[in-house]
Amino acid sequence: MSDIDPKALDLTRIESDVVFLGFALSDCTVELDPQSAKYLRPVNRTAMELATHNRFGSEIGGFWLMHDQIAKLRNLPGYYPSNEASFVARAVEAYLRAQLHEFYSLVRQETIETC
């Protein structure tokens, strides 16, 4: 191992070839206002329909929502009347935030356990 102090590295200057592909859908808690909350069921149903089952093989399993499918999910408000579209948009974003929150919570927990 080298004697480089990791705290001295300026990570903002390092280019990365890591890209966000998507995530596996999981149970999550969505925090949302009551008007938008009634659209969570159609948002979840649409996400499940868009997701790819066993995207990375049966060993990993799950229903995976990839980048292009996330973009399609974000188009869902366009299929609702204009007076409902903003509520649907909030439901979609809250759903995605909640899904990713669970992901980041797991990553954070694994990092703490390995330190």
Q: Does residue 35 lie within any of the structural domains?
A: yes
**Residue 33 burial (10 A CB sphere; 0-12, 13-18, 19+):** exposed
Identity at 88, one-letter amino acid code? V
Q: Does residue 109 lie within any of the structural domains?
A: yes
How far is it, in rounded angstroms, from Cα 112 to Cα 33?
33
pLDDT digits (tens, 9 = 90+) for 19-39: 667 788 888 899 999 999 999
In the numeric block, the tokens 């990713």 are attached to 100
Q: Does residue 7 lie within any of the structural domains?
A: no
Q: Does residue 95 lie within any of the structural domains?
A: yes
Q: Does residue 8 lie within any of the structural domains?
A: no
Q: How many domains does the chain have?
A: 1
Q: Which residues of the chain have pLDDT under 50?
A: 1, 111, 114-115
Q: Does residue 94 lie within any of the structural domains?
A: yes
Query: The whole model's pTM is what?
Result: 0.71
Q: Does residue 39 lie within any of the structural domains?
A: yes
Range of the domain at 104: 20-114
- What was the pLDDT predicted at 62? 83
Q: Does residue 26 lie within any of the structural domains?
A: yes
- What was the pLDDT predicted at 23? 80
